[in-house]
Structures are given as structure tokens and as C-alpha cells.
A and B are shown apart, each in its own frame.
Chain A
Amino acid sequence: MASVVPVKEKKLMDVKLGELPSWILMRDFTPKGIVGAFQRGYYRYYNKYINVKKGSIAGVNMVLAAYVLFSYCLSYKELKHERRRKYH
């Protein structure tokens, strides 16, 4: 479906589902682009939650929670053996 604004420049939330593959392919996958993407993401988070005058603990808390989840996912393989029931 044709859209008025070229797909290239839309943000992710404005991209329609049908255009998603082309949007993904459009992204810059060079090392520089990837690094840039990480930088942008970092600065977005940083400027929204941490670089404010009266920041709350939520800024750090979210990062810690994400870390907890991530490490849980990594260690799920070993945790599987501690399940109480085999079949759910």
C-alpha cells in the first residue's frame, strides 16, 4: 500500500505492518550504523530517565530489572532442572 510519506523516514510506530520488512531492510546495518543505533538508544534512555534534575530510582531500577531478566534467561537452562513438576 502506498503511503504519503516515504517509508524510509518513518518511525517504527508509524510503520504499517505490511511495510515492516522493507522498513527493516532500509535500516543501516553497517558497523557504523549499528553503533549509531546503540548510541541513539542509550541517549534516548539516558536523557529521558537519568539526565533530569529530579530523577527517581526508576531510571536505574529499570536497567537492573532488565539485567535480572536477562540473566534469568541465560541461566534458564540450568534452572530447568529445579522444576518441581516435569509436565505442566
Chain B
Amino acid sequence: GEGSTPGQPGVLGGAAFPFASPRFQIQPKPKLYVCTIQLEQQYTRGAPLGLRPSGSYSNTTSRENCFYASIPPSVDHPPATSSEFCASSREEKKKIARRKQKRTPCSLLARLVSRHLPLAPAVCVRGHRDAKPAAWTSADHALTGGTFCRRHSGVLQATRIFHTGQPRLAPLPPLPEYGGKVRLGLIPEEFFQFLYPKTGVTGPYMLGTGLILYFLSKEIYVITPETFSTISIVGLLVYVIKKYGASIGEFIDNLNEQKIAQLEEVKQASIKQIQDAIELEKAQQALVQKRHYLFDVQRNNIAMALEVTYRERLHKVYKEVKNRLDYHISVQNMMHRKEQEHMINWVEKHVVQSISAQQEKETIAKCIADLQLLAKKAQAQPVM
């Protein structure tokens, strides 16, 4: 099956003594569980559907091999006989085998193996803390466990069912604020509480005093020069601790808090980052709704371009037509003008031709006389 890696000896294989009581998880639906242990070594995915020679199957009946297990819908009612159980599972398996073309090799082998096995297979979950044994376990049941085949075409479904118990200590409970109470820095409070019902409040102190005097008087504790150095040192220590203890404690607590604040910052930053990413994603999702604007704009642009082109062409047509018409008009005008000029020239020429020499002299004399008259007139006028 997909779940197990090839060559991995069943975790189960070592512990698969067939008479251990299997502990397994009861699933509400009928499921087929496959335990693949050592078969992956023998078979590859591309194994043909044909059967291998039965020599290799002689090992397969051993408990270390893969077989199908089929759990009937109501696990509370164990099958009457194991053979009936096998039969039902066999039928199911045949149906399943007919349904799909591609089979995992373990499934193929399992079919064969299960025919040999007279056992009703059980499902075992290793490492499952809260597994409850079913009512119909018996010593004959081989142990299964390990990995399971995944769903192929929706017919088989087996999920990994390790670690389905409630997780303990998660999330981790916070550290207690203060440690256990201790009196005189040496003796836990529980001792005082222990003696309180019998001796009251002063009991432990009297006990302590009595013990000290007893040790001194019987010289169980011997007074040596070391005693005095001890007394001085202890006295000094007590003084220092009493004086500076609180501040040192605060200082160290601050260090701790700084560390925690740093980590918290990292956590918050990460959370914020993720939230920003989420918002960005949402914004982009919202943008998807507005995609139609893009297309509308493009459509508008195209429509405008078409309109513009149409108008340009219209204008061009107009110009061309006007051009042609103007040509005709100018041709007409030109002809008209030419004819006029020609006529005028012709008339002038003939008139000039018709003027004889004598007529010309007479005309010129008259002109001179007129001019003299005019000159006299002009001379007379400015004087006035």
C-alpha cells in the first residue's frame, strides 16, 4: 500500500506473536485495512495482475505478511464462524477487485493470503493509547498494525489511526508563579503543616531547638574552629540575601521577561504577517469581482477606435469627391477665362489692325491738343 515504504520490516513483525491480544480502534463504517509489512520488498507497483508462483506464498501465510482485514459493520457481533467471515470478506474483495483495474500488489496478495488464513483478521493500532479491545478478539487472531492502504477509488478507505487519543499537556500549562513555600529558607512549609494539628504553631520550632540542643549536648554536632567560620559565613550570606535578594530576583526576572517578550514579538510579527497576507488575499479576491471593468474599458476603446476609423474614412471620401468636383469647376473656369481672353485679344488685334496710319496721326494730334488744354486748366487752378 501507499502507506508503507518498501523494505521496511513491519514494526509489527518483531512483535507479531500471534497470540497477543490485539488492541484496535473500532470504526463505525466497514473498512478494509491492509497491513503491509514485508511484501513491498517482493512486489513492485508495476507487478502484473498475474499471480506469482505459489512457492513464494508459502511464506505469506505466516503472521508477518499482508492481508486484508474486513471489519463487519457492527463490531459488537462477532461472526459466527471465521470461515463465514472470510467468505464475506472474500466476496467484498472480489467486488472490489472487479471494480478497479489497478490494484496494489499488497491487495492482490492479501486476497490470496486471506484464503489460506483461517483467521478473522483484526485491526491493531500500535501506540494507540485509548484503543479498546473488541468483544470478539481471540487468541487466534493474528496481529496487524502498521500502515494502511489509502483510498484508491473511494471503495477502500483506511486512515492512519495512530495517536487518536486526546493529547495531554497540550497546550502546555503555564509555569507556576511561585515555588513551594519554604520557611527559614530551609524547611518546606509542608513540615509545619504536618505538625500543626498535634503541636500547634510553635511545635516545629520547639522541635528544632530541642534537636539543636540535643546535638550540641551529646556532641553529635562537634564544635570545631570550623563552626565559627561557618557561623560567620552563613551570617554574611543571610545578610546579603536579605538585603539584595529581592533586587537580584527582579533583575533576573527582567532578563527572563525580555526573552519572553522577544519571542512574543516574533510570534506577533508572524501572526501579523499572516494576517496581512490574508487581507491582501481578500483584497485580491475582491478585485476579481471587478474584473469586468477591465473588459468594459477595452470594449469602449475598441468601439471608439472603430468610430474614429469610420469617420476618418468618411472624411477622406468627402475630400476626394470634393477634389474631383473642384477639378471640374476649375477646368470650366479656366476654359471660360481663356475664351474671354482670346476673344479680347482677337478684338483688340482687329481693332488695331483697322486703325490706318492717317487715323493714327489725327488721333495723336487731337490728343496733344486735349493735353494742352488740360495743362492750361491745370496751371490756372493752383494759382487760384
* Number of interface residues, chain B, beta carbon within 8 A: 22
List residues of B (104-118) whose CB comes within 8 Å of A's CBs: none
Q: Mark B155-178, 1 if CB is under 8 A from A, else 0.
A: 000000000000000000001111
State whether A61 and B179 are in contact (beta carbons under 8 Å apart), knowing that A82-B224, A88-B218, A88-B219 are contacts in the complex. Answer: no
Of the four ranges (under 10, 10 to 19, 20 to 34, 35 or more), the interface on chain A belongs to: 20 to 34
- Set of chain A residues within 8 Å of B185, measured between Cβ atoms: 56-58, 61
Contact of B217 among A52, A55, A88 (CB under 8 A): A88
State whether A49 and B180 are in contact (beta carbons under 8 Å apart), knowing that A57-B185, A57-B245, A82-B224 are contacts in the complex. Answer: yes
Q: Mark A46-57, 1 if CB is under 8 A from B, else 0.
A: 001111111111
Would you give 11 A-B contacts (Cβ < 8 Å), ordered by A? A51-B175, A52-B177, A52-B178, A53-B175, A54-B178, A57-B185, A61-B186, A62-B186, A72-B221, A79-B222, A88-B219
* Interface contact A52-B175, CB-CB below 8 Å: yes
- Set of chain B residues within 8 Å of A48, measured between Cβ atoms: 179-180
6 tightest Cβ-Cβ pairs between the two chains A and B: A58-B182, A49-B179, A52-B179, A48-B180, A83-B219, A88-B218
Chain A, residue nearest B246 (CB): A56
The reply on B241 being an interface residue by CB < 8 A is yes
Q: A52-B179, A54-B178 are in contact. List 10 more A-B contacts (CB 8 A).
A: A51-B175, A52-B175, A52-B176, A55-B178, A56-B185, A57-B245, A59-B179, A61-B186, A72-B221, A84-B219
- Set of chain B residues within 8 Å of A88, measured between Cβ atoms: 217-219
The reply on A35 being an interface residue by CB < 8 A is no
Chain A, residue nearest B175 (CB): A53
- Set of chain B residues within 8 Å of A61, measured between Cβ atoms: 182, 185-186
* Interface contact B249-A56, CB-CB below 8 Å: yes
The reply on A32 being an interface residue by CB < 8 A is no
Chain A, residue nearest B220 (CB): A76
Contact of B179 among A55, A80, A85 (CB under 8 A): A55
The reply on A34 being an interface residue by CB < 8 A is no
The reply on B223 being an interface residue by CB < 8 A is yes
- Set of chain B residues within 8 Å of A82, measured between Cβ atoms: 222, 224
Q: Could you tell me which A residues sit within 8 Å of B by CB distance? A: 48-59, 61-62, 65, 72, 79-80, 82-85, 88
Q: Mark B180-216, 1 if CB is under 8 A from A, else 0.
A: 1010011010000000000000000000000000000
Chain A, residue nearest B260 (CB): A53
- Set of chain A residues within 8 Å of B249, measured between Cβ atoms: 54, 56
The reply on B253 being an interface residue by CB < 8 A is yes
- Set of chain A residues within 8 Å of B223, measured between Cβ atoms: 84
- Set of chain B residues within 8 Å of A55, measured between Cβ atoms: 178-179
- Set of chain A residues within 8 Å of B219, measured between Cβ atoms: 83-85, 88
Among A53, A59, A65, A72, the one with the most B-chain Cβ atoms within 10 Å of its Cβ is: A53
Shortest C-beta distance, A58 to chain B (Å), equals 4
Task: Give the docked Cα–Cα distance between A72 and B226 (Å).
Answer: 12
State whether A56 and B186 are in contact (beta carbons under 8 Å apart), knowing that A85-B219, A88-B218, A88-B219 are contacts in the complex. Answer: no
Task: Give the docked Cα–Cα distance between A58 and B238 (Å).
Answer: 12
* Interface contact B176-A53, CB-CB below 8 Å: yes
Chain B, residue nearest A66 (CB): B186
Task: Give the docked Cα–Cα distance between A80 and B241 (Å).
Answer: 33
Shortest C-beta distance, B222 to chain A (Å), equals 5
Task: Give the docked Cα–Cα distance between A50 and B241 (Å).
Answer: 17
Task: Give the docked Cα–Cα distance between A54 and B253 (Å).
Answer: 7
Shortest C-beta distance, A61 to chain B (Å), equals 5
* Interface contact A80-B222, CB-CB below 8 Å: yes
Shortest C-beta distance, B305 to chain A (Å), equals 74
Chain A, residue nearest B221 (CB): A72
Task: Give the docked Cα–Cα distance between A79 and B220 (Å).
Answer: 9
Chain A, residue nearest B241 (CB): A57
- Set of chain A residues within 8 Å of B177, measured between Cβ atoms: 52-54
